[in-house]
Amino acid sequence: MNAFNRGIKLTFLAVIFLLNACSDPKYNNESENQSIKLWIAPNEAQENFWKTAVNLWNESNIGMPVNFTTIPATGSSEKAILTALVSGSAPDISTNIFSGFAAQLANLKQLQELSHMEGYQQLIDSRHMQRIMQDWDLAGNKYVLPLYSNPTLIWWRGDLLKKLGVHKAPETYQDVYELSEKYAASENKFGMQIIAGKNWEDRWFDFISYYYAASNGAPYIIENKTSYSNQSGRSVLKFIDKMFKNNWTGLDFDSDEPLVTGLVIGAVRGPWDIEYFKKMYPETLEKIVIGPMLTPEAQKGKASTFADSKGIVIFKHSKIKKEAFAFISWVLTHPKLNLLWLQTTGLPPARGDLTSNPVFKLFYEQHPFAKKYAEYVEVAVPPALIENTVDVQKVMNSEMIEPLIFGRKNIDSALIDASHRTNQLLRQ
Amino acid sequence: MMHRVIHFFKNLKESQVGAGLAIGYLLFNLIFWAYPFVWLIILSFSDWRFFDLPIFSGLNNFFIVLQDKEFWVSLWNVARFLLYYIPIVMICSLAFAFGLQHIGRGKVFIALCFLLAHISSGVAYSLVFSKIFSSTGPLNSMLFDWFGISIPWLSSPSMAMFSIALVVTWKFVGYYGLILYSGLNAIPFEVYDAAKLDNTSAITRLFKITLPLINSQLIMVLIFAITVAFGVFTEPYMMTGGGPLNSTNMPMLVIYETAFSRLQPSRAALMAMIIALVSYALIKLVRRLFEKRVEIV
Amino acid sequence: MKRFRGKSAGGWAITIAMYGLALTWLYPYIWMLMASLKPTSQVFTTALFDGSISLQNYQFLFDSAEKLNRPFLGSLLNSFFITFSVTGLVVVSSAYIGFAMAKIKFTGRKSLESFIIFQMVLPTMMFTIPLFVLIRQLGLINTYSAMILPAMMSAWGVFMMSQAFKGTPDDYIDAAKLDRATLRTILFKLMMPLNKSIVAIVALFTFTGTWDNFLWPLIVVSDIDKMPLSVLLATFSKQYGVYVGPVMAGSVLQAFPLVLLFIIFRRHFLQGMSLSLK
């Protein structure tokens, strides 16, 4: 037995030795507390914006210097932020927070309530965000300041519309039916792309977008229960169903950009696609006409739509919240930086005065596509501010949209099943 | 000192050396495996959402996971995956191993081609295959040109799992095939010569001689295939997102999403434990049913 | 081998079929390589070997790396250091323990074997968070050891080695023992050379797995000077996902060292399988 003990000791010593040999004594970096750590969305355009903004801030010595990096995300940026929070290596501020993740983090007490921070009211007033902030209210608290608000609109190939004798972007389901019937008559063509993709977040760009348009921006979740099982929900599903039954739309467009190849005439696209097309498919972009989200019947005024909106938060663990908020206020209220944001990213800043503020006037005169999106910011509704975003949208997928597409359920049972299952999950 | 240590080891009994090595291994696993594992068990019985301390919640997680349709569908999907994957990968690997035996020149080149698939980066090849399989991708345009058909590889609920099994097969055939090949090479020629004298048919030789003689390699491959089935993640994550109609939703996807999107790591821990137990039981069963100890002299 | 020399028609058919399959197996690689050389807009619209071929995507990759202060060279060295350490440790530890399990009788051997199989089938993903807590408790955050230590022994490696060693006749070992060979000699001079193929497989696949792993380094290391290449490239792929060309260029870069290493060491890797190299 003695031999055993010695064996154990030796192995143990070897492990300890290795532990010591490999560990780095200076991993402790307390001196870093002298600057505000900021994480930004991993996206080239946004990175360029923050580089300028942060440089300007640091050079002018208004407050504590800021140090920024992109969110070190390999999968989703939410995952990266979460891991960093768990490990204590999270920054003081992060951008790129969507509603569902904000709700989760707020419930887990990881976010700083902002409406009582010094200078909050001035910030809101200067950006005319009073109405916008109503969509970001969580039990009377505000944890996120939305940075941008991307309405979803429909892009149409103007040249193809003209060929079919249509001179205005379609606005109702009926318009699309007529169009699709003509266009899909030719071999291997579809009317429009409706289903945006396979993941839960794609439901923002199909069902939820259409639902907002059909219901005039009514919420799809009220007080932890679904509210889309109604006439509006039914008409959206009827539209999807009819398009699929007639083979006027397809499921899988992911190998090509279908608008470029002319596989479809129309598809839901966001303002980020303007820059993308400009870079990749400039010839196609010239032919694009932007129209509103489709509605069941012709409508007076602008049709509501979905807003892909992301915001900035301060984490609760931060020891320099005041300084951090000062920096955020400075960036968000700086007129030149607001313009710069628009110029570098093309995404509409989340503010209520986009079309009236003279700062943006020249830009929008020169960028008609961006202007179109700016016009819809006021009727664009962000997703429900709930913790269970993933579940809610996965159920939309698995109980409603997909069974409908594959002909396994009729419209009513799809709606009822999805609603039932969602409520079951939300109760847990 | 060194001399004494060596001397000390020389005088150890063999069984003591064996046990010592085993203890070294166990010690390592005590730190880097058992400690996290205990945590995992604690988590299964508690409510923990990354921050704060875990709060004991009894069987609450069990009830929630029991009702989680998605999780059970994903477990059923493992069975469906195995149904496609095991026969395809077994036959392909065997064919590869036999084929390799029959090749004189260029053996290395061929083995390299197949093994390259195994060492490629998961994210990269999933991306490549999702493009290859898409409705207008190269595979379908070829099929359309030749036969006038196009196959919904990834967009039909009944095909998607099969396509994923094909991709996973693509990755593993070289690896499994070489394991089997090393087994085949170890079979002495005399065994076949004797069989040939007895005028046995090729099929009989295969089932009566070859396969039993590479039993240990076959079991090894089978076990690996089962572990792969329970651990599939990157391919469905990148190619189908678990759809359509949840037909390619695998346990790892559900666990990942439960932990990192729903922020319910304790439920995910319980799911991981259930998956672990099921796969372990299955492997035990396979070994009990098919494993033989064949001593080759 | 000799009995296959005189080839029949069937033999030729098999040879041709194998070559055909081998090329089919390479297709995704070729596609990736070609996509990395084309502008993104042409990736899906041109035939495999058509389109304008250039190194633009690689330029884009390195330019952005430069601009965003991403030390590609440093991360490459990090990757090599981490990967070689892990591979070396895994091979040696697996050989010792695998030998004990295959050829030494001791109490508890059966249970150890079950334990190892249990470990192999357990989804490792769930260990991420608890393992992280442990690394934090050991004070190893932001160190190379955080990436090396938890991976230095592998249940899979032990299993592979022990399965292979089981096939080696006991007579060899007994003979060596008669020559008063030590355990180390038996392992390094007898068992490992006899089972070269498995040693090579364990080494190569450990190398690949470590090289490709990015989730764990991402979690335990935030210091850019210690980041492995995989993390830098994965963040890059995420960031420029819509630009298929550069992402494919990144994938090629990530795969390149593996392919190169594989080709360099193919002799050692395949010799063990008694392949005749010409």
pLDDT in tens, B5-15: 555 555 567 78
* Ordered per-residue pLDDT tens for chain C, 278 residues: 444 445 677 778 888 888 888 888 888 888 888 888 888 777 767 777 877 888 888 887 677 655 555 666 677 788 889 999 999 999 999 999 999 988 888 888 889 988 888 787 676 766 776 787 788 778 787 789 999 999 999 998 998 888 888 888 888 888 888 888 888 888 888 888 888 777 887 888 888 888 877 768 877 776 667 778 777 766 666 555 556 777 777 778 777 878 887 777 776 666 544 432 22
d(CA C214, CA C250): 14
d(CA A92, CA A319): 8
Question: How far C51 CA sits from the closest chain B CA (Å)?
Answer: 15
Backbone angles phi, psi at A148, to 5 degrees: -140, 160
Question: How far A152 CA sits from the closest chain C CA (Å)?
Answer: 19
Binary contact (B134, A255; C-beta < 8 A): yes
Question: How far C225 CA sits from the closest chain B CA (Å)?
Answer: 23
Interface contact B111, partner C, CB < 8 A: yes
Chains that touch B (3 or more CB pairs under 8 A): A, C
Of C148 and B142, more confident: C148
Q: Pick the residue of A12, A89, A263, A277 with the most C CBs within 10 A to test the interface with C by mutation.
A: A89
Residues A398-411, mean pLDDT to the nearest whole number:
91
Question: How far B278 CA sits from the closest chain A CA (Å)?
Answer: 26
Binary contact (A22, C129; C-beta < 8 A): no
Q: How many CB atoms lie within 10 A of CB A159?
A: 14
Residues B218-243, mean pLDDT to the nearest whole number:
86
Option in B69, B241, B261 nearest A198 (CB): B241
Residues forming beta bridges with residue A39, ordered by sequence position: A69, A94
DSSP helix/strand/coil, A134:
helix
pLDDT (0 to 100) of residue C236: 65
Q: Which helix (H) or strand (E) holds A305?
A: strand A305-314
Please report the domains of chain A, with CATH numbers, ordered by start residue.
34-150+308-381 (3.40.190.10), 151-306 (3.40.190.10)
Interface contact B54, partner A, CB < 8 A: no
pLDDT (0 to 100) of residue C276: 25
Instruction: Tell me the pLDDT band of A44, cut-offs 50, 70 and 90.
Output: confident
pLDDT (0 to 100) of residue C240: 59
Is the pLDDT score of A18 beyond 60?
no
Instruction: Tell me the pLDDT band of A25, cut-offs 50, 70 and 90.
Output: very low
Binary contact (A108, B24; C-beta < 8 A): no
Option in C17, C107, C251 nearest B124 (CB): C251
Binary contact (A263, B136; C-beta < 8 A): yes
Interface contact A1, partner C, CB < 8 A: no
Residues A386-393, mean pLDDT to the nearest whole number:
92
Residues A225-229, mean pLDDT to the nearest whole number:
94
Residues B93-100, mean pLDDT to the nearest whole number:
90
- Is the ipTM beyond the 0.90 threshold? no
CA distances A156 to A34, A159, A294, A299, B53, Å, are: 51, 9, 12, 19, 53
DSSP helix/strand/coil, A112:
coil
E runs forming strands in A340-415: 380-381
Please report the domains of chain C, with CATH numbers, ordered by start residue.
65-271 (1.10.3720.10)
Interface contact C239, partner A, CB < 8 A: yes
B272-276 contact pairs (CB < 8 A, 24+): B272/B40, B272/C122, B272/C123, B272/C125, B272/C126, B273/B40, B273/B41, B273/B44, B274/B65, B274/B75, B275/B75, B275/B230, B275/B251, B275/C123, B276/C118, B276/C121, B276/C122, B276/C123
Of B246 and A307, more confident: A307
Option in C11, C109, C121 nearest B279 (CB): C121
Question: How far A144 CA sits from the closest chain C CA (Å)?
Answer: 23
Q: How many CB atoms lie within 10 A of CB B198?
A: 8
Option in A75, A252, A397 nearest B154 (CB): A252
Interface contact C5, partner B, CB < 8 A: yes
Residue A301's region, left for phi above 0, alpha for psi from -120 to 50, else beta, is left
DSSP letter at B210?
I
- Comparing CA positions, the residue from A283, A104, C122, C120 lying closest to residue B251 is C122
Q: Give the list of residues 6+ apart from residue B258 with CB closer than 8 angstroms, or none.
A: B264, B265, B267, B268, B271
Cβ(A231)–Cβ(A306) under 8 Å? no
Q: Give the list of residues 6+ apart from residue A55 with CB closer than 8 angstroms, or none.
A: none
d(CA A164, CA A166): 6
* Cα angle value B287/B288/B290 (rounded, 5°): 65
d(CA A376, CA A370): 10
Question: How far C144 CA sits from the closest chain B CA (Å)?
Answer: 16
Binary contact (B22, C97; C-beta < 8 A): yes
Interface contact C240, partner A, CB < 8 A: yes
pLDDT (0 to 100) of residue A24: 42
Option in B12, B28, B70 nearest A3 (CB): B12
Option in C143, C237, C238 nearest A24 (CB): C143
Question: How far B117 CA sits from the closest chain A CA (Å)?
Answer: 22
Interface contact C163, partner B, CB < 8 A: yes
Chain C residues lying within 8 Å of B276, measured CB to CB: 118, 121-123
Indicate the average pLDDT of chain A: 87
Interface contact B62, partner C, CB < 8 A: no
Of B38 and A31, more confident: B38
Chain C residues lying within 8 Å of A273, measured CB to CB: none
DSSP helix/strand/coil, A193:
strand
- What are the tens digits of pLDDT across the range B26-82? 999 999 988 988 888 888 899 888 887 888 988 999 999 998 889 999 999 999 999
Binary contact (C182, B9; C-beta < 8 A): yes
Interface contact C169, partner B, CB < 8 A: yes
Instruction: Write the DSSP string, chain C.
Output: -GGGSS--HHHHHHHHHHHHHHHHHHHHHHHHHHHHHS-HHHHTTS-TT-S---SHHHHHHHHHHHHTT--HHHHHHHHHHHHHHHHHHHHHHHHHHHHHHHH---TTHHHHHHHHHHHHHS-GGGGHHHHHHHHHHTT-TTSHHHHHGGGSS-HHHHHHHHHHHHTS-HHHHHHHHHTT--HHHIIIIIIHHHTHHHHHHHHHHHHHHHHH--HHHHHH---GGG--HHHHHHHHHHHTTT-HHHHHHHHHHHHHHHHHHHHHTHHHHHHTTTPPP-
Q: Which helix (H) or strand (E) holds A37?
A: strand A36-40
For residue B236, the number of C-alpha atoms closer than 13 Å in the C-beta half-sphere is 32
Residue C142's region, left for phi above 0, alpha for psi from -120 to 50, else beta, is left
Determine the length of chain B: 297
Residues A251-267, mean pLDDT to the nearest whole number:
81
pLDDT (0 to 100) of residue C71: 66
pLDDT (0 to 100) of residue A4: 46
Cβ(C215)–Cβ(A74) under 8 Å? yes
d(CA A166, CA B278): 60
DSSP letter at B121?
-
Supply the pTM of this predicted model.
0.81
pLDDT (0 to 100) of residue B245: 84
DSSP helix/strand/coil, A131:
helix
d(CA A99, CA A146): 9
Interface contact B107, partner C, CB < 8 A: yes
Residues forming beta bridges with residue C123, ordered by sequence position: none
**Minimum Cα–Cα distance from C45: chain A residue:** A256
- Comparing CA positions, the residue from A45, A270, A266 lying closest to residue A150 is A270
To which residue do tokens 């501020």 refer? Answer: A93
> In chain B, how many H helices and how many E strands?
16, 2
For the purposes of burial, counting CB atoms within 10 Å of the CB of B24, is it exposed (0-12), middle (13-18) or buried (19 or more)?
buried
Chain B residues lying within 8 Å of A403, measured CB to CB: 245
Of A353 and B190, more confident: A353
pLDDT (0 to 100) of residue A102: 95
Binary contact (B49, A108; C-beta < 8 A): yes
d(CA B97, CA B84): 20
CA distances B196 to A5, A28, B202, Å, are: 57, 72, 9
pLDDT (0 to 100) of residue A196: 87
Q: Pick the residue of A2, A252, A263, A406 with the most B CBs within 10 A to test the interface with B by mutation.
A: A252
Cβ(C31)–Cβ(B132) under 8 Å? yes
Fold category of B68-290 in CATH:
MetI-like fold (1.10.3720)
d(CA B182, CA B213): 12
Option in B24, B51, B245 nearest A108 (CB): B51
Binary contact (A198, B246; C-beta < 8 A): no
Cβ(A197)–Cβ(A267) under 8 Å? no
Option in C22, C118, C129 nearest B114 (CB): C22
Cβ(A194)–Cβ(A249) under 8 Å? yes
Option in B27, B70, B246 nearest A11 (CB): B27
Instruction: Tell me the pLDDT band of A13, cut-offs 50, 70 and 90.
Output: very low
Binary contact (B216, C201; C-beta < 8 A): no
Cβ(A324)–Cβ(A318) under 8 Å? yes
> In chain A, how many H helices and how many E strands?
20, 14
Binary contact (A70, C235; C-beta < 8 A): yes
Q: How many CB atoms lie within 10 A of CB C171?
A: 9
d(CA A326, CA A321): 8
Q: Pick the residue of C63, C127, C222, C232 with the most A CBs within 10 A to test the interface with A by mutation.
A: C222
Determine the length of chain A: 428
Is the pLDDT score of A77 beyond 90?
no
Q: Which two tokens stand for residue C271?
A: 């010799």
Q: Which alpha helices (H) appear in B102-201, and where do they start and end? A: 107-119, 122-133, 138-147, 160-185, 189-197
CATH 1.10.3720.10 residue ranges of chain B are: 68-290
Is the pLDDT score of A245 beyond 90?
yes
Instruction: Tell me the pLDDT band of B260, cut-offs 50, 70 and 90.
Output: confident
Binary contact (B279, C204; C-beta < 8 A): no
pLDDT (0 to 100) of residue C3: 46
> With a CB-CB cutoff of 8 Å, which residues 37-76 of chain C face chain B?
43-44, 48
DSSP helix/strand/coil, A355:
coil
Residues B86-111, mean pLDDT to the nearest whole number:
87
Instruction: Tell me the pLDDT band of A215, cut-offs 50, 70 and 90.
Output: very high
Residues A43-72, mean pLDDT to the nearest whole number:
90
- What are the tens digits of pLDDT across the range A309-340? 999 999 999 999 999 999 999 999 999 999 99
Option in B105, B185, B220 nearest C273 (CB): B185
DSSP helix/strand/coil, A307:
strand
CA distances A220 to A184, A208, A412, A422, C234, Å, are: 32, 8, 17, 11, 35
Of A398 and A11, more confident: A398
Chain B and chain C share a number of CB contacts under 8 A equal to: 233
Instruction: Write the DSSP string, B212-235.
Output: HHTHHHHHHHHHHHHHHHHH--HH
Binary contact (A7, B263; C-beta < 8 A): no
Chain B residues lying within 8 Å of C44, measured CB to CB: 131, 136-137
Option in C112, C122, C182 nearest B10 (CB): C182
What strands lie across the sheet with A288-291, from one edge to the other? A192-193, A266-269, A153-157, A288-291
To which residue do tokens 């628009």 refer? Answer: A342
Q: Pick the residue of A198, A317, A417 with the most B CBs within 10 A to test the interface with B by mutation.
A: A198
Question: How far C17 CA sits from the closest chain A CA (Å)?
Answer: 30
Cβ(B75)–Cβ(B230) under 8 Å? no
DSSP helix/strand/coil, A14:
helix
Q: Amino acid identity, residue A177?
A: Y
